[in-house]
Chain A
Amino acid sequence: MTNPVLEGEDVLIRVRDLCNAFGPHVVHEHLDLDVRRGEIIGVVGGSGTGKSVLMRAIIGLQIPTEGSIEVLGQSITDARDDHEISIRNRWGVLFQGGALFSTLTVGENVEVPLREFYPEIGDELRAEIARYKVLLSGLPAEAGDKYPAELSGGMKKRAGLARALSLDPELLFLDEPTAGLDPIGAAAFDQLILNLQQTLGLTVFLITHDLDTLYEICDRVAVLADKRVIAVGTIPQLLALDHPWIQEYFNGPRGRAAKAAQERAATAGTPG
C-alpha cells in the first residue's frame, strides 16, 4: 500500500533505480518513485536526504550516476543535452528562493518562457497573459512592474509561481514553497496551490518541511530516508508503518499540532 512503485496506473513521473553521488558522498541508492497524474505529492525527509537533488534530477539539472527517469512519457536520463528534453514547456519549476531574473521586472520574468516557446504571441496578448498570471498567483497587479529586489520574500515566491505557471504546465515542481513565509501567508499559499491544482488540473511535485502543507493539500506523501523513498502514501497510511523517523516526524510536537489543526478545521467545516 505504501510501495513507491505503482502498478498499472496513469503515471506522470517514473523514477527507477536512481543513484546519485557527489564524489564519495552517496545521496540516493536505488531510489524508486511514481507520481500519479493529477495528484499533489509531498516529498519529505530530513535535511540532507536529497529532496532537492531528487527534484533536480527529475527536471534534468542533475545527471544521475545510474537509473532512469521518465517524465510525461519522455526519458530525461537518455537526453544528451538540454535541447533534447522537449517537454520543458509542459512543466513549471518554482525554486526555493524564487530564482527570478534580477534584471527583469516580475511581468517580464513571466513573459520569458512565453517569448522562448511561443514567439508568435503578440506583445499585447503576452503582456495581458503576464498580468493575469501575476493576479492568479495572488499578487497585486502593480507588482508586475516591480523588480525582484523590490519584493518581499513571500512576494518573490508568488512571482516565481507566476513564472512557473506561465505556460500553463501540466506538471508543477515546487521546492519548499512555504518556507520562510508567515503562517497566514503560508496558509494562503497552500490554498492558492490547491486552488490552481483543482482549476488547472495540475500534477504537483512538492518538497516541503511544512507539516500543515502536508496535512492540508497533499494527496500522498513520499518519505525520503536511508538514501531512497521508504514509503509513499496518505498520512494515516504512513502512520500505520513502524518506521522510527516517520513516527518521530508526524508524532513529534509539531506534527501533533498540525494534525490537531487539521482536525479542528475539518470539524469546523462540517455544518451542524
Chain B
Amino acid sequence: MTETADFTLTSGENGDTLVFSGPMTVATLGGLDARLREIETPIARIDLADVPMMDTVGAWTCWRLSRDTGAEIVHPCEAAERLIGALEKVDDGGEPTQAGGLPVWLRVPAKVGDTVFGLAAGAVEVLGFFGQMLLATWGLLRHPGRFRFNALVHQMELVGVNALAIVGLMSFLVGIVIAQQGAVQLRQFGAEVYTVNLVGRLTLRELGILMTAIMVAGRSGSAFAAQLGTMKLNEEIDAMRTIGVSPMEALVLPRILATVLMLPVLGVYSAVVGIIGGAFLSSLTLDIPFFSFLARIREVVPVHDVWVGLFKGPVFGLIVSVAGCYQGMQVKANAEEVGLRTTSAVVMAIFTVIVLDAFFAVFFTEVGWG
C-alpha cells in the first residue's frame, strides 16, 4: 500500500478544521499519531471527505480527537460512521493504565526487600513441604498397601539406571584428571606412589558422591520441577486430588525415595569408575600396573571413607529431590514460572549440597574419621 494518510489544519471563521486525506488504517497511521498529538489549538471540525478507507484504528483516532476536543466529525464515509459509532458505544472515556515504574532509588531497595521477604517465606514453605512429606510417609507406613511400587521402580530407572552412562563417563574422566594432576605435583617430592591414596580417598569420600549429586540435580531434580510444574499448570494435580489420589503419595514420594535410594548406589559406582580411570592413567604413565593400583587401594583407603561416602548419598539425594519436587509444586501462574522454578530447583540443590559437603568434611575429620 503506497498511499499514506495525511492531514492539514485550516482555520476558518468558525474555528479550525482538521482535514484528513488518504486511507486511515493501522498501516498508515503510525507516523501520523505523534504529529496529531502535538496539535494544541482547539479543533472545531474533523473533515473526513477525502478519506476513502478506514479501519478501527482510523476510527479510534478520529473518535479520540473528537472526544478530547469536542470537535464535530463531518463528511464521514459510511464505514467511518459505523466504526466511529461502534467505538463511541464501547468507549468509557478512560485512559490506558501506564506501566507504573518506580524510580531507580526506590526500585533497588524494593527489590532487595522483596527478595528478603521472599527468602523468609520460602524457608517456611520448604519446612511446610517437608512436614507434608513426613505426614504422607507416616500415612504410607500405616497403610503400606497404598505404596506405589511401580512408580518407585520407574523413577529408580529414570534417576539411576539411565544416568549410568553419563555418570560413568564423568567419573572416569575425573579419575584420570586427579591421577594425572596429582602425579605431576607428587613427582616433585618423589612420592608418585601416593597417587593411589589421592585417587582412592578423594573419589570414595568426596568427589564420587558430590559430582554424582550435582549430575543428578541437573538431570533429575530439574526434570522433577519441570514435570510437576507443568502438571500443576494443566490442573492434572488438582484432577488427581479430586479423584482421591494424593499427589504427595503418587508423585512426590516415589521420586524422593527413588533419588534417596539411587544416589548412594550411583555414588559408589562413580567412585569405582573414578578409581578405574585413575588406575588406567597410572598404568599408562606412572609405571604402576593396573591391578597393583587396585590392590593398593584396599591397603591405603580406610573403610570409614566408604561409610562417609555412603552416609552422604541419601542426604544429598533427599536434598536434590525435595528441591525439585518442592519447586515444581510451587508453580502457579505460567510457563515462564516453570522455567524459573526449574532453575531455582537446580541452584538450590547444588548450593545446599556443596554447603553440606563442606560441613561433613570438617565434621567427619573432627570426629576422628579423617
Q: Would A200 and B60 count as touching, CB distance under 8 A?
A: no
Q: Is A121 a contact of B30 with CB atoms below 8 Å?
A: yes
Q: Which stretch from B84-92, B135-143, B291-299 is at the chain A interface? A: B84-92
Q: Which of B60, B82, B97, B335 contacts A129 (CB 8 A)?
A: B60
Interface pair A201/B79, CB less than 8 Å apart? yes
Q: Does B366 contact A (CB under 8 A)?
A: no
B57 lies within 8 A of A168 (CB): yes
Number of interface residues of B (CB under 8 A): 32
CB distance from B355 to the nearest CB of A (A): 32
- The docked-state distance in angstroms from the alpha carbon of A128 to that of B97 is 10
Given contacts A124-B33, A199-B82, A199-B86, contact A102 B91 (CB under 8 A): no
CB distance from B347 to the nearest CB of A (A): 21
Contacts of A84 in B (CB 8 A): none
- A25-B240 Cα distance, complex, nearest whole Å: 32
B13 at the interface (CB under 8 A from A): no
B77 to chain A, nearest CB (A): 12
B 56-81 binary contact with A (CB < 8 Å = 1; else 0): 11001100100000000000000100
A131 to B96, CA, bound (A): 6
B120 interface contact, C-beta 8 A: no
Is B344 an interface residue, CB under 8 A from the partner? no
Quick check: A136 and B30 within 8 Å, CB to CB? no
Partner of A135, one of B30, B61, B83, B90: B90
Q: How many chain A residues have a CB neighbour from B under 8 Å?
A: 34
Q: Which of B23-45 contact A (CB under 8 A)?
A: 25-27, 29-31, 33-34, 37
A149 touches B33 (CB 8 A): no
Given contacts A122-B34, A127-B96, are A136 and B90 in contact (CB under 8 A)? yes
Taking a contact as CB atoms under 8 Å apart, the answer to whether A128 and B37 are in contact is no
Which of A107, A120, A135, A167 has a CB less than 8 Å from the CB of B92?
A135
**Separation in Å of the A180 CB from the closest CB of chain B?**
14
The DSSP consensus for interface residues of chain A is helix
Structural contact, A102 and B333, CB atoms closer than 8 A: yes
**Contact mask for chain A residues 120-161; partner B; CB cutoff 8 A; 1 contact, 0 none:** 111011011111110110000100110111000000000000
In angstroms, how far is the closest chain A Cβ from the Cβ of B107?
Answer: 19
Q: Shortest distance in angstroms between B251's beta carbon and chain A's nearest beta carbon?
A: 22
Q: Do residues B55 and A121 form an inter-chain contact, with CB atoms below 8 A?
A: no
**Chain B residue with minimal CB distance to A150?**
B333
Closest to A199 in B: B86
* B33 and A125 contact, CB distance less than 8 A: yes
A168 touches B30 (CB 8 A): no
- Which A residues lie within 8 Å of B3 (CB)? none
Distance in angstroms from B84 CB to nearest chain A CB is 10
Interface, chain B (partner A; CB < 8 A): 25-27, 29-31, 33-34, 37, 55-57, 60-61, 64, 79, 82-83, 86-87, 90-92, 94-97, 332-336
| Given A103-B336, A130-B96, A141-B94, 9 more pairs with CB closer than 8 A | A103-B335, A121-B26, A125-B61, A127-B96, A131-B94, A132-B56, A133-B56, A145-B97, A168-B56
- The 10 closest A-B CB pairs, nearest first, are A102-B334, A120-B30, A127-B96, A168-B55, A135-B90, A103-B336, A121-B30, A125-B33, A131-B96, A149-B333
Interfacial residues, chain A to chain B (CB-CB below 8 A): 89, 102-103, 107, 114, 118-122, 124-125, 127-133, 135-136, 141, 144-145, 147-149, 165, 167-168, 195, 199-201
